[in-house]
A and B are shown apart, each in its own frame.
Chain A
């Protein structure tokens, strides 16, 4: 198992390096000048100075390695220092700074991360809670009306884009019914029961939008995987032993069917982070998706480079997790 994990890891690292290079190159070689948005009255020599303070005079490849070093070595060291209160080396390193705010990019991202993680994490849990029962019942009662309904639900779920469900939710639940606030208040602090209820209320719509979209996909996989297992010999054996139908279904079949579904869930998580870009924009959640949009609109290259790379790293990471999980859960996969 360790061998398998190491081999996967060895493959992930070069992938990440190539991707980081592609992202850096696209952003760096594109036409456009960071000083273009400055007022016309700024004289050209000042512009040149600004460009050189931003480090734009160096050759492309040097800037790439500098960025890589800042992101891969400097920032992790800073993180270790700040969390353990120790100083490694000289302790004062050149940090990757955003052009727009002049503050370290990693700090900006760390500020925004919790909101995104809350929304994405909750939506993922709710999605699984919705999808697994639908998938199990659909497969158990294949071709019944409840199965047809489940199919319709999942078809609608992944055909209706999240930006439309989000707006519909706002129209129905905020404008007409007035149940939930349409804007996510990030400054809200949970201190007593009432503020906790408010927090739940403001989280319901963003998480449900993402959860419904994800649940639609997971329930399809769940149904297919259950159907595969229901026709296996071991199910007949279990029934022949006189086990209760409930035990057969929920212990024997469900456990085996969850194996591919768990990996699908893991593979799906980066997509949800991508989907969160849209949801955060609708409900004004100030998470990393919104930070990315702000960075893009403001042409803040270092911020956008880092964020895009984080999204790429998430994809590679969760691919790795899915592979390892699959190997752990299903011994047949560990080909070694």
Chain B
């Protein structure tokens, strides 16, 4: 090959650029990305602009309709709902993202181990099947009931519950990731580049970290987005059943739980946090959908 033919090659396109170009075509995914970014920004920077303390009770302004001072009105104790939704969003998103990271780590670890080491495959996959057969929502409720008080004493009411909820959501939602990763690793393991790496004496640990993991990053990313959505819904469901965070510590689910007794009086109280959950989950699901298309070389080629 001469130098000229090299220069005539089309403009270099990296994998990430290809993926981004395909992702941009997916209108739903782009809309999801924009909305999700807006929600994240609002939740992070919102309390700096809207500087009302979410716990401040203004008894004279109970159940107030929306106004400039309280854009979403106030609750039955005169607390500002907008400030609570922003504060609750911080907690809900933090729980969602941390729990997803834990689930992803576990799922990737178990998937890679099961796919790469033949001896571990059988036991680990039986273990995964077992977890898939557990009734998750009842079990989560039960675990929270049993361990709430112990953790509350150890870490304080808010941090303790945060750890507990993140931990139990994380250890009960890694199974899908593990299965997908295992399947991909099984196929990758037989490819020539892995054989080449092994033939020059690369230790297994380095083969996994350098050759296998980068190649399974796309299914992991897709399950990451779905994991965030799932974790946010689970946390809200737990809080909604009254078994999540303590009272007067706002999360989106908790706000719904507190608001559901005032449906006739102030229906906005359930509308805003519910809308926040739904929009977040919807946008994350759309991002996941677009990411799946963008990372799939069969679709990207078209």
Decide if B229 touches A159 in the complex (CB within 8 Å): yes
Chain A residues contacting B274 (CB-CB under 8 Å) are: 160-161, 163-164, 167-168
Whether B195 is near chain A, meaning CB under 8 Å from some CB there, is no
Whether A315 is near chain B, meaning CB under 8 Å from some CB there, is yes
Decide if B137 touches A171 in the complex (CB within 8 Å): no
Residue in B135, B136, B142 whose CB lies within 8 Å of A27: B142
Residue in A158, A175, A297, A319 whose CB lies within 8 Å of B264: A175
Q: Give the interface size class of chain A.
A: 35 or more
Decide if A308 touches B147 in the complex (CB within 8 Å): no
> 0/1 per residue, B232-246, Cβ < 8 Å to A?
010011001111000
Which residue of chain A lies nearest to B286 when distances are taken between CB atoms in the complex? A155
Residue in B129, B138, B229, B256 whose CB lies within 8 Å of A311: B138
In the complex, what distance in Å separates the CA atom of A170 from the CA atom of B270? Answer: 11
Which residue of chain A lies nearest to B273 when distances are taken between CB atoms in the complex? A164
Known: A307-B138, A315-B134. 20 other contacts (CB 8 A): A15-B130, A19-B130, A22-B134, A26-B139, A27-B146, A30-B147, A151-B28, A159-B282, A159-B285, A161-B278, A164-B270, A168-B270, A168-B274, A171-B263, A274-B136, A274-B138, A281-B240, A308-B135, A311-B138, A312-B133
A-contacting residues, B114-145, CB 8 Å: 129-130, 133-139, 141-143, 145
Which residue of chain A lies nearest to B129 when distances are taken between CB atoms in the complex? A15
Which residue of chain B lies nearest to A276 when distances are taken between CB atoms in the complex? B137
Which residue of chain A lies nearest to B148 when distances are taken between CB atoms in the complex? A32
Chain A residues contacting B146 (CB-CB under 8 Å) are: 26-27, 30-32
Whether A100 is near chain B, meaning CB under 8 Å from some CB there, is no
Decide if A26 touches B143 in the complex (CB within 8 Å): yes
Q: Among A167, A282, A292, A297, which residue has the most Cβ atoms of chain B within 10 A?
A: A167
17 inter-chain pairs at a CB distance below 8 angstroms, sorted by A residue, are: A19-B133, A155-B285, A156-B282, A161-B233, A161-B237, A163-B236, A163-B237, A163-B256, A164-B256, A164-B274, A167-B270, A270-B135, A292-B141, A297-B145, A304-B142, A311-B138, A315-B135
Whether B260 is near chain A, meaning CB under 8 Å from some CB there, is yes
Whether B185 is near chain A, meaning CB under 8 Å from some CB there, is no
In the complex, what distance in Å separates the CA atom of A282 from the CA atom of B260? Answer: 9
Chain A residues contacting B240 (CB-CB under 8 Å) are: 163, 278, 281
A-contacting residues, B164-188, CB 8 Å: none
Decide if B145 touches A274 in the complex (CB within 8 Å): no
Decide if A167 touches B130 in the complex (CB within 8 Å): no
Whether A299 is near chain B, meaning CB under 8 Å from some CB there, is yes
Which residue of chain B lies nearest to A167 when distances are taken between CB atoms in the complex? B270
Chain B residues contacting A26 (CB-CB under 8 Å) are: 139, 142-143, 146
In the complex, what distance in Å separates the CA atom of A18 from the CA atom of B149? Answer: 28
In the complex, what distance in Å separates the CA atom of A161 from the CA atom of B240? Answer: 11
Whether B267 is near chain A, meaning CB under 8 Å from some CB there, is yes
Q: Among B147, B229, B278, which residue has the most Cβ atoms of chain A within 10 A?
A: B278
Residues of chain A whose beta carbon lies under 8 Å from any beta carbon of chain B: 15, 18-19, 22-23, 26-27, 30-32, 151, 155-156, 158-161, 163-164, 167-168, 170-171, 174-175, 182, 270, 274, 277-278, 281-282, 292-293, 296-297, 299, 304, 307-308, 311-312, 314-316, 319
Which residue of chain B lies nearest to A182 when distances are taken between CB atoms in the complex? B263
**A18-B130, A31-B147 known; A160+B278 contact, CB < 8 A:** yes
Decide if B135 touches A158 in the complex (CB within 8 Å): no
Decide if B150 touches A158 in the complex (CB within 8 Å): no
Chain B residues contacting A312 (CB-CB under 8 Å) are: 133-135
In the complex, what distance in Å separates the CA atom of A114 from the CA atom of B175? Answer: 32
Decide if A277 touches B138 in the complex (CB within 8 Å): yes
A-B pairs, top 9 by smallest CB distance, nearest first, are: A311-B135, A30-B146, A164-B274, A159-B282, A159-B281, A160-B278, A274-B137, A171-B267, A308-B138
Whether B216 is near chain A, meaning CB under 8 Å from some CB there, is no
Whether B277 is near chain A, meaning CB under 8 Å from some CB there, is yes
Decide if B278 touches A159 in the complex (CB within 8 Å): yes
Chain B residues contacting A315 (CB-CB under 8 Å) are: 133-135
Chain A residues contacting B229 (CB-CB under 8 Å) are: 159
In the complex, what distance in Å separates the CA atom of A277 from the CA atom of B267? Answer: 23
In the complex, what distance in Å separates the CA atom of A26 from the CA atom of B136? Answer: 13
Chain A residues contacting B281 (CB-CB under 8 Å) are: 159-161
Q: Among B142, B143, B256, which residue has the most Cβ atoms of chain A within 10 A?
A: B142
B222 to chain A, nearest CB (A): 15
Chain B residues contacting A164 (CB-CB under 8 Å) are: 256, 270, 274, 277-278
Which residue of chain B lies nearest to A30 when distances are taken between CB atoms in the complex? B146
Chain A residues contacting B237 (CB-CB under 8 Å) are: 161, 163, 278
Chain B residues contacting A160 (CB-CB under 8 Å) are: 274, 278, 281-282
B281 to chain A, nearest CB (A): 4
